Amino acid sequence: MNMPDIRKIMSENKIFAKKNYGQNFLTDFRVIEKIIAAAQLSSQDSVLEIGAGLGSLTYSLAEHAYNTVAFEIDTRLSEMLKENFSADKNVEIISQDFLTADLNKYENYKIIANLPYYITAPAIFKILEEGKGIKNAVLMVQKEVAQRILSRPNTPDYGAMTVSVSYYGNTELVANVPPNCFVPRPNVDSSVIKITPKKRTLNSEEEKLFFTIVKASFSKRRKTLVNALSSFSELNISKIRATELINQAGLDLNIRGETLSTKDFENLAKLLK
């Protein structure tokens, strides 16, 4: 496995990790191996990496994939990587904020990232909403966020994030990663998750309703679904309509949003259209 010596690169080049860019560089090759294995990378795959840093993952991606496009916002790091990969035609380093990237340019690729945690939610939703033909996304996130994404109905972690991500794809835990696998050590535990996109079942009008219903249901967790939906101004439905909707969906009138599955929410969006 191809792995740069991060501590040495940092000390030789006087690089101090920037907290505001979420720079916690991976130094444990066993974690990198797990990420590569989870993505099921083959020499035919194209990969898009978010936040290449000092290349902890990028070197392994270059070794396993057909080609790699890696975004890095910190120009000092991206310039170093550009130089190091200048002879490798299969690696393209892009000095850009990933959140402003035009994902229409890429198709049929895998996404790999040790995400800067401050952009976790926008980066995940950008991938899922804008990405075309993504085969899978293997992402290092804060453990607490992984628990929310992977949780089940009727548990405290279950919420809008769980339902929204699971609408787009199947989710699984790859590994839990302790702080000592990074330099500098983050203050939180981390987890690698894998998202495998699935076919979207709603049209755009229904999708809009779906996300509004999800938002309404979890913004008032303690309320019954009837009350949560009818009191959410964005939805603009009466209590009578909300009752009728829940009856049509075959759900109990006393039910609360946190007990509904993603399929139940999809069904409600279709019925409300």
Question: Contact positions toward ligand SAM, by CB under 6 A?
Answer: 21-26, 50-53, 56-57, 71-74, 77, 97-99, 114, 116, 119
Least CB distance from residue 223 to ligand SAM, whole Å?
A: 36
Task: Please count the other Cβ atoms lying within 10 Å of the Cβ belonging to residue 234.
Answer: 9
Smaller CB distance to ligand SAM: residue 16 or 199? Answer: 16
Strands (E), the chain: 25-26, 46-50, 67-72, 91-95, 110-114, 136-142, 169-177, 182-183, 190-197
- How far apart, in whole angstroms, are the C-alpha atoms of residue 45 and residue 11? 34
Residues β-bridged to residue 93: 70
Least CB distance from residue 161 to ligand SAM, whole Å?
A: 19
Measuring CA to CA, which residue among 4, 1, 11, 107 is closest to residue 52?
A: 4
In single-letter form, the type of residue at position 117 comes to Y
Least CB distance from residue 66 to ligand SAM, whole Å?
A: 20
Smaller CB distance to ligand SAM: residue 77 or 213? Answer: 77
Least CB distance from residue 186 to ligand SAM, whole Å?
A: 8
Smaller CB distance to ligand SAM: residue 33 or 205? Answer: 33
Smaller CB distance to ligand SAM: residue 90 or 243? Answer: 90
CA distances, 175 to each of 36, 39, 72, 134, 162 (Å): 12, 13, 24, 21, 18
Question: Closest-CB residue for ligand SAM?
Answer: 51
Least CB distance from residue 144 to ligand SAM, whole Å?
A: 16
Smaller CB distance to ligand SAM: residue 64 or 256? Answer: 64
Contact 9, 183 (CB under 8 A): no
- How far apart, in whole angstroms, are the C-alpha atoms of residue 271 and residue 273? 6
Smaller CB distance to ligand SAM: residue 106 or 158? Answer: 106
Contact 67, 48 (CB under 8 A): no
Residues β-bridged to residue 182: 26
Least CB distance from residue 224 to ligand SAM, whole Å?
A: 40
Least CB distance from residue 115 to ligand SAM, whole Å?
A: 6
In sequence order, what are the residues at sequence separation of 6 or more whose Cβ sits closer than 8 angstroms to the Cβ of residue 75?
Answer: 95
Smaller CB distance to ligand SAM: residue 117 or 218? Answer: 117
